[in-house]
Structure 1
């Protein structure tokens, strides 16, 4: 059979409040045209993020009842630790309330051991840093450097692994400024670059380069299972491997990881920092106790740890991953047939519209991604997320520069929406595309000093 169906039944439903175009126009004005400021009750189809928006399974809800809330030594922590080490056998597993807390701890304890000049800025290279990762790095005074391959910056290019690290540029960095680089990171999948996967060969070669220069390799691994399934589909030699086996190989090349469990652990809250270095682990636990909690709960309840343990088992099920990747591709392929420019090939967790290409009459300085996202909500009640100059254009020194791409991400929550919901989104975007010449850009009328996309105010032109 060619038809792919959801590998689950719906056991509980949540009503959606239907709104009109005129209502949504008023709501946009009240929210200063920032979709983050909308109340979720006023959103019909919420594709703002796939972070923490998944539907949990019956086994996860059963695990909630088993959660042990002991302050120290909870059996729920050890069940979570065992489930994670089955996939990623790092020596030290440190739970946090979400991924950005793991990032905050990691970047606050890093020191470039080889640098003798304290005036030199630390550099953290990655294929592409996401927003909170970049902000946590820059908050320490370090530089977040993106080294994705050039092909990864071409939305139209159809290549299987556009999230790969540019190994030549990484080598040049390590040869010329290696004393300023405490770790190397890889984001799987590459969220800011269109949800594009990283190949196993690139992970392996990145690790070899790190070993050559004595640098630890850390993974920002919040969509590790989706990345593994793309490897199974697209990389020679992995077709007969299970997703679990591929995940285990991925993590065998890493010295540590940060994780938002709100993605590929299928939970609404949680994360962790995992590493092998004893000294770093000691420092991390000290910060954890100050900011998150004792190391066997790390800011989480026992029931959260139980749900994560089950989610780590369910996320590597092949039927689930086949449904997940195929349903996202269904959405993207439909938009492509409508002539709407998207990042190709379609990523695992989201479809990314190339707003700069779709709205060439709107200058990148007028934020075409935000203009498109506003119209999607106005017309159809669909909330997406600008991934472009609004999110990444604000610089630490107060200046602004254009992002490499201006995208609108439509991130699909796991196990939440049905095909009819996605068909509605396709129908709405067909209407937006038909009248796209009428859209105008926006100005930023107020912004905070960093991470402006969450709270800034817009004014339509």
Structure 2
């Protein structure tokens, strides 16, 4: 087990009390939420690991920047600053601010996709695929096969399979592939990085066929850290240098600033192509706002510009990824199945292996997330069959090989002591996992169902078994 966990590279200036609830209270909260952790209120959660999106603790420097917001409707100085920072750190010529990452995904999809297109990517992401499909494209998974196996331990498990990409080009033609979407890192594979070598190969192949490469750059700084750690040629490069080179192997990106830009709201779309930028400027006014604010206040853009500068600090990113490893090491030592290797923003429990007795159609990851909250107050997120959604043609569930529960660590929010609590909660639940029962979906929205779907247990009550050990009680139906 790794025991070299760095201390927090910050000191705490402001504190926020967190909820301390009883199991009885949590049982009622869970029932009211339809056993969907997304529908719980934050005040009902003890340690909230639902997401790292927008949950960052901003720095004093960012908060100071918030007081310098230029709220002019067009051409604010905060936009000029953000534009300068993006050009300096990422290298892109043009930037269109958006209210968050999916705003950028919407713009990119509308600008580039036509019905009948194919968009290859290194594993789907929920909102990204939804925008692609709504605009008439078919997503094609071109990630390496090993990414779909939680127990294979590879340094760059997020890599694109170049042969799969070439095969798709040969089958459908380059003119039906508007761009290749490369996520750095790959969220649903467990936060897995992509190597610089692989990015270089993808860009070379796409350039030969006139296909654009667009990054989902949401966690690009985490990806840069893994390159520094795992590719020998980059061991002595700075995070900033690696990040700039990474971005050079793309034609643009979508960015959710709520992750690696260290802010609570905001995102942007970047590109180098002048024509695409002009079209984006025309479209953004319909969905977001003026091209120089795109749904954001000036103060939000200032905080994001400063967050980008802070994000490349080695001590910050080293501590962040070390927190993930600290939690993961405790779970592995206890024999709890997780996705290997550990990624940069979360630890993913392998619900399929954790709850081997629950079939996938009874939503084992949803069940596990609900019980983890019930027993400990720790909120997590399902990333399995519920998140995967349905095939719009057949109506059948997509059945991903990875059925996961994501324990997502917010940036600069929790300490190692909080992670000790999470680890112990997982251990306690694992000891009594055989008592857990599956769920059925009782309400299913048309789009992105994992956000608002509602569930109830398949069986109302578990059979009590005499034991001196504490029991995990069955969830009650609404």
TM-score, with structure 1 as normaliser: 0.97
> 5+ residue gaps in structure 1?
113-119
Q: Partner of 1:343 in structure 2?
A: 339
- Partners of 1:236 and 1:173 in 2: how far apart? 31
RMSD: 1.1
Tell me, yes or no, if structure 1 residue 233 matches structure 2 residue 229. yes
Question: Aligned to 2:117, which of 101, 116, 122?
Answer: 122
Separation in structure 2 between the aligned mates of residue 4 and residue 103 of structure 1, nearest angstrom: 36
Equivalence for 2:152: 157
> What is the CA–CA distance in structure 2 between the aligned matches of 1:388 and 1:3, rounded to whole Å?
30
Task: Give the corresponding residue for 1:18.
Answer: 20
Q: Does 1:440 align with 2:437?
A: yes
Query: Does residue 391 in structure 1 map to residue 387 in structure 2?
Result: yes
Aligned 1:196-275 pairs, distance under 5 A: 196-275=192-271
Which residue is equivalent to 2:417? 420
1:294 alignment partner in structure 2: 290
- 1:394/1:452 contact within 8 Å kept: no
Q: Select the residue among 262, 275, 279 that pairs with 2:275.
A: 279
Q: What corresponds to 1:83 in structure 2?
A: 85
The structure 1 residue matched to 2:104, chosen from 91, 102, 105, is 102
Q: Are the aligned partners of 2:389 and 2:449 in contact in 1 as well (CA < 8 Å)?
A: no
Counterpart position of 1:171:
166
- Match of 1:66, SS state, is coil
The 2-side partners of 1:111 and 1:430 are apart by 46
1:247 Cα deviation after fit? 0.1
* Residue deviations 1:297-326 (CA, integer Å, cap 9, x gap): 111000000000100000000001110111
Distance 1:91 1:3, change over 3 A: closer
Q: Are 1:136 and 2:126 counterparts?
A: no
Per the alignment, residue 380 of structure 1 pairs with 376
Matched, 1:362 2:358: yes
Shift of the alpha carbon at 1:331? 0.5
Task: Report the alpha carbon displacement of residue 336 of structure 1 after superposing the two structures with TM.
Answer: 0.8
2:7 alignment counterpart: 5
Question: Displacement of 1:263 after TM fit?
Answer: 0.2
Asked if structure 2 preserves the Cα contact closer than 8 Å seen for 1:87 and 1:251, the reply is: no
Question: SS in structure 1 opposite 2:305?
Answer: helix
Deviations 1:345-398 (A, max 9, x none): 100000001100111100011111001000100000111111110010422233
Equivalences for residues 53-92 of structure 1 within 5 A: 53-92=55-94
User: Can you list the C-alpha shifts for 1:99-152, whole angstroms capped at 9, x where unaligned?
Assistant: 00000011011146xxxxxxx611111101211001111111211222110011
> What is the alpha-carbon distance in structure 2 between the residues aligned to residue 288 and residue 3 of structure 1?
44
Q: 1:408 aligns with which of 394, 405, 410?
A: 405
Aligned to 1:457: 454
**Mapped pair 1:193 → 2:195:** no
How far has the Cα of 1:180 moved from its partner? 1.4
Unpaired segments of 5 or more residues in structure 2?
Answer: 459-478
Mapped partners of 2:267, 2:83: distance in 1: 12
Contact 1:183–1:218 (CA under 8 A) maintained in structure 2: yes
In the aligned structure 2, how far is the partner of 1:303 from the partner of 1:67?
4
Taking the aligned partners of 2:284 and 2:389, their CA distance within structure 1 comes to 31
* Structure 2: distance between partners of 1:381 and 1:354: 20
Measured against aligned partners, the alpha-carbon deviations of 1:186-216 in whole angstroms (never above 9, x if no partner) come to: 0010001100000000100000110111101
Q: Is the 8 A contact 1:127 1:163 kept in 2?
A: yes
Give the TM-score of the pair, scaled to structure 2.
0.94
Name the CA distance, whole Å, in 1 between partners of 2:18 and 2:392: 40
Task: Measure how far apart 1:404 and its partner are.
Answer: 2.1
1:41-60 equivalent positions in 2, closer than 5 A:
41-60=43-62
